[in-house]
């Protein structure tokens, strides 16, 4: 569970988060949606303690990020919008490094690399991987943690349709295991009918939930946009 209360963040004169409240429940796939600049990435970076709030609290599985950061962060795995790895390390070296950091057995690292079909690319340096393969390596590292709380920022953008489907299945399975899953995304079409809750963010606040069965139309209505009228328009 993630419990956020009164979260505020300014960048100079710009109020990016404005006394934001949000509860993300376990056992469910939760989307975080909002227009460009609504503050989604800022919120997720604060949850992962990559940015500090000006006010407010974040609790991860009951642990206050402000007062018990190490214990709170041990509950969390975070996938940033643009994961980066050392360019001259190979796929295997990166995975092994994070495996050791997370105290995982080498066999668990190999299993994760196999799950994301990276076994044929183990000796490839990360700067030579395609964008989608690099994202699959990021997902392998992300999944290695076996964390109870999963937070992902636009995880599907560079993945092809097959891997987007695999990612959805992975996150759905994680939720069914009782984990907490929060995904920021613009890809509303492919999540329609496949999420449990969708939190709508506008100008630094959560303004409501959108009905999972009609995400695109409800988002367009709430944002005052033209209704989507073609298959594939996100």
Which residues contact ligand ATP by CB under 6 A? 11, 16, 34, 36-42
Give whichever of 129 and 210 is closer to ligand ATP, judged by the CB atom.
210
Residue 75: both structure tokens together? 């509950």
Helix (H, G, I), strand (E, B) or coil at 206: strand
Give whichever of 11 and 162 is closer to ligand ATP, judged by the CB atom.
11
Nearest distance from C-beta of residue 139 to ligand ATP, angstroms: 19
Give whichever of 125 and 220 is closer to ligand ATP, judged by the CB atom.
220
Nearest distance from C-beta of residue 17 to ligand ATP, angstroms: 8
Residue 35: both structure tokens together? 């227009």
Residue 128 CA: distances (Å) to CA of 153, 159, 161? 23, 16, 22
Give whichever of 51 and 122 is closer to ligand ATP, judged by the CB atom.
51
Distance between CA atoms of residues 145 and 50, nearest Å? 18
Helix (H, G, I), strand (E, B) or coil at 151: strand
Nearest distance from C-beta of residue 121 to ligand ATP, angstroms: 28
DSSP code per residue over 70-108? HHHHTTEEEE-SS----TTSBHHHHHHHHHHHTT--HHH
Nearest CA-CA partner of 157 in 180, 183, 185: 185
Nearest distance from C-beta of residue 74 to ligand ATP, angstroms: 25
Give whichever of 12 and 230 is closer to ligand ATP, judged by the CB atom.
12
Tell me the β-bridge partners of 209: 199
Nearest distance from C-beta of residue 41 to ligand ATP, angstroms: 3
Nearest distance from C-beta of residue 12 to ligand ATP, angstroms: 7
Distance between CA atoms of residues 13 and 62, nearest Å? 32
Give whichever of 46 and 129 is closer to ligand ATP, judged by the CB atom.
46
Count, in order, helices (H) and strands (E) of the chain: 8, 10
């Amino acid at each position: 569970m993630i419990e956020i209360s009164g979260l505020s963040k300014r960048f100079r004169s710009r109020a990016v988060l404005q006394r934001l409240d949000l509860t993300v429940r376990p056992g469910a796939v939760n989307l975080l949606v909002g227009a460009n600049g609504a503050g989604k990435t800022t919120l997720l970076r604060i949850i992962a303690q990559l940015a500090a709030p000006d006010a407010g609290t974040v609790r991860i599985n009951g642990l206050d990020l402000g007062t018990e950061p190490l214990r709170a962060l041990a509950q969390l795995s975070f996938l940033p919008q643009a994961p980066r790895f050392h360019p001259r390390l190979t796929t295997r070296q990166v995975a092994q490094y994070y495996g050791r950091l997370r105290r995982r057995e080498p066999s668990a690292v190999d299993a994760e690399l196999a799950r994301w079909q990276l076994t044929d690319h183990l000796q490839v340096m990360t700067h030579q991987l395609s964008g989608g393969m690099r994202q699959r390596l990021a997902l392998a590292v992300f999944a290695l943690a076996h964390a109870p709380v999963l937070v992902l920022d636009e995880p599907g953008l560079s993945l092809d349709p097959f891997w987007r489907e695999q990612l959805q299945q992975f996150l759905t399975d994680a939720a069914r295991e009782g984990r907490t899953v929060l995904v920021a995304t613009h890809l509303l079409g492919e999540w329609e009918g496949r999420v449990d809750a969708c939190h709508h963010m506008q100008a630094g606040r959560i303004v409501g939930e959108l009905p999972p069965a009609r995400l695109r139309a409800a988002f367009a209505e709430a944002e005052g946009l033209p209704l989507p009228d073609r298959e594939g328009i996100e």
